[in-house]
Structure formats: C-alpha cells, structure tokens
Amino acid sequence: MSSAELGRFLRAQRERLRPEDFGLRSRTARRTGGLRREEVAMLAGMSADYYRRLEQARVGPPSSQVLEAVARALRFTEDERDYAFRIVDRDPPRRPHAVTEVDPALGQMLDAMPGAAAMVMSDLGETLAQNATSKGLLGDHSRFTGINRNGMYRWFTDPAERSLHPAGEQEAESDARVSTLRGWYARTGDPRAERLIALLRARSTEFERLWQREKVHICRSGPVTLVHPVAGVLDLRAQILEADGPGQLFVTFTAPLGSSAAARLSELGGENLALAGT
C-alpha cells in the first residue's frame, strides 16, 4: 500500500482516542476530538514535527522501531499494529504461515456436532467444509466456484448472500466483515487478501465506504438473527474459533439447549442428511 494510507490510518486512530484516558489535559478548548499530533509524538518519544509529517505522508516509510512506538502510543491492538506494518510493506513482529487444508480433527468435529451448524473456513472467508446442519441453514457452499467461493466477496457483490439476514442488521454485518478482513490481512500478509481487498474496493461502493473507516477488529463471537425460508426466525450465537494451524477457523451457529430455535436448527440438519441419502 502506501505512506498516504498509513497517514490516514494513524489519523483515524488518533481521532478516536480520548485525552482523559491518557491523563492529558489542555488549558484551551479542543476544536476536535481525539489526541493532538504533538501529544501522540510525546507519548511515542519522537518529535512533533516528524509525527506530523508521518501523518501527512511527507516522509518515507517509517522504521519498525518507529511503528512499534506509534502503535504503543495509540494503544493499537495486535491486529491494528500488524495492519500498520503491512501498509508500508514491512513484516509485523509475528507472521504465521497460512494453512489452507482442513485439519482432520476439525473434520471429525463437524460431524460430532449435529445440533449446531458448523463449518471450517479460511481466514479470508472461503468455506472449506460444512456439516449437514450448516448446509441446511446456510446452503451448500461447495456449489460456488472461482472468486465466488469467497463468502466475503459474495456478501458485497451478490444480494442473494444477504437473504438470511434482516435488512436492519446488514449494515452492522458489513462493517464487521470489513474490519475483520483488515485484521486477518494484518496477521497473515497473504497476497490473496490484498488482491481480494483491491477487487472489493473496485467493485463495491459499500465496501470502499466502510474500508475508509480504518477499523481493525476481528470478530470472534456474538448473537446473530437469521431468517430461514423453512425454519423461520432463528436467534443464534455465532462463535469463531482459531484452530492450531493459522488460517483455519472453526465456525459454529448454536441455539440455547431446549429452545425452539435449537429444535428447528436440528431439524434442518436432519432434513439435509435425508436429502443427501436419496
């Protein structure tokens, strides 16, 4: 990417911080929210002039030491820190090797959870394997080919991908997906992620708008409501677990035991198994 992109990212993160969280007070009223550039420079142990030029993309790519100092000053999460490194084509402090093949143990776990919709995904949004309940709930993702195998791509380019999600919740879902993609790109530095980001920025105005928010946050769990054409409204909990091998995610959708949603979710798996056996 570029120094200009780094400058925009640093500015967006700086403006989100509250001075009082750093014990900083000002004798004059602040015209805008967030920390001032000179305050970030002080916290990072560098000159205010250098930090100002860094945000304004008037200096070359900073060293790893400078990036680490700025990350600490702005209280970056690990994902945000790694993303800052990637922007200027530097390797972050850790760079796990991506794995694309399904771990056999994860495949066994899929079939051991008939009451949950479970699947193994890559960190870029490609479905690698599904159990019967997942296919009954979300559809069989093996039917997709090429770039359409990527759920992130489908979400922003194919309206049908959103058919299960209530309209009022789609904006939040889009925002979560963009910030998660930015986080996974920061972690892995996978060239495929960079190509996917470039493609989505070119083809989806919604993605581009959300990308400009400069948010980095990998979503791992939370409530989700799906409206299924057969099972109706399902209030579920999504859980995303990282497997031992980098790049592999174990994703589940569950309902409280004994609930109506749990019974209907289980029925979706049974119906899908029956269809597969015919």
pLDDT string in tens for the chain (278-residue length): 578 899 999 999 998 888 877 777 665 556 667 888 999 999 999 999 999 999 999 988 899 999 999 998 998 888 889 899 989 888 887 544 545 567 777 888 888 888 899 999 987 889 999 999 999 999 999 999 888 999 999 999 999 999 999 999 999 999 999 999 998 888 777 778 888 999 999 999 999 999 999 898 888 889 999 999 999 999 999 999 887 655 688 999 999 999 999 999 999 887 654 434 43
- Determine which helix (DSSP H) or strand (DSSP E) holds 238, and give its type and residue range: strand 232-242
How many domains is the chain partitioned into structurally? Answer: 2
Tell me whether residue 136 is in a domain. yes
Query: What confidence score (pLDDT) does residue 31 get?
Result: 65
Distance CA 248, CA 83 (A): 20
Please report, for residues 6, 70, 81, 87, the alpha-carbon distance to residue 90 in angstroms, rounded to integers and kept in the order given. Answer: 12, 15, 11, 8
Q: What residue type is 132 in one-letter code?
A: A
Tell me whether residue 35 is in a domain. yes
Q: Are residues 134 and 268 in the same domain?
A: yes
Phi (first) and psi of residue 264, to 5 degrees? -70, -35
User: How are strands ordered across the β-sheet holding 117-122?
Assistant: 127-130, 117-122, 248-254, 232-242, 221-228
Longest dimension (CA), the chain: 76
Angle at 203 between CA 200 and CA 207, to 5 degrees: 50
Q: Which of 46, 62, 87 is the last residue of a domain?
A: 87
Residue 222 domain boundaries: 104-277
Tell me whether residue 78 is in a domain. yes
Q: Are residues 75 and 159 in the same domain?
A: no
Distance CA 180, CA 222 (A): 14
Residue 274, Cβ density class (10 Å: 0-12 exposed, 13-18 middle, ≥19 buried): exposed
Q: Which of 53, 87, 121 is the last residue of a domain?
A: 87
Residue with tokens 């967006």: 12
| Contact between 161 and 154 (Cβ < 8 Å) | yes
Tell me whether residue 108 is in a domain. yes
Q: Are residues 66 and 171 in the same domain?
A: no
Angle at 14 between CA 13 and CA 16, to 5 degrees: 65
Given CA atoms 252, 152, 232, 167 in this order, what sign does their dihedral have?
positive
Q: Are residues 110 and 74 in the same domain?
A: no
Query: What confidence score (pLDDT) does residue 27 get?
Result: 54
Tell me whether residue 97 is in a domain. no
Tell me whether residue 44 is in a domain. yes
Q: Which of 35, 62, 87 is the last residue of a domain?
A: 87
Q: Are residues 168 and 244 in the same domain?
A: yes
Q: Tokens standing for 161?
A: 């991908």
Q: Are residues 7 and 47 in the same domain?
A: yes
Q: Are residues 23 and 152 in the same domain?
A: no
Q: Are residues 66 and 133 in the same domain?
A: no
Tell me whether residue 95 is in a domain. no
Q: Are residues 31 and 140 in the same domain?
A: no
| Contact between 55 and 7 (Cβ < 8 Å) | yes
| Contact between 121 and 238 (Cβ < 8 Å) | no
Q: Are residues 66 and 127 in the same domain?
A: no
Q: Are residues 110 and 81 in the same domain?
A: no
Q: Are residues 119 and 202 in the same domain?
A: yes
